[in-house]
Amino acid sequence: MNQYNKDILEYKSIKELMNLKKMQVLRRKNNLTQAEVAMALGVSASSVAKWETINTCPRAELLPTLADLLHCTIDDLFGRGKEETQ
């Protein structure tokens, strides 16, 4: 079992697994506002803000569109990709 799988077993929720603080960096890197991301995904701007502060998570079906919008992979959203965001 690799380290990532071991880490997954220790997480209590998907919120802890997703590195959504990285989402904010990716959003800004792409010169997008929370409102623009929200409009593209059909959610409220407050939902995007909550994702970025890890209060809630996006629905699974939104992840491919979110990754496309932020020009990254779903793995990047989970902190598993090689995308450099800092």
Taking the chain (86 residues) in consecutive chunks of 10 residues, what is each chunk's mean pLDDT? 59 58 88 97 95 84 95 82 51
pLDDT for 78: 73
pLDDT for 85: 43
Query: Which residue ranges form the domains of the chain, and what is each CATH number?
Result: 3-77 (1.10.260.40)
pLDDT for 53: 82
- Cα distances (Å, whole numbers) of residue 81 to 26, 43, 53, 66, 73: 13, 25, 20, 15, 7
pLDDT for 86: 44
pLDDT for 19: 63
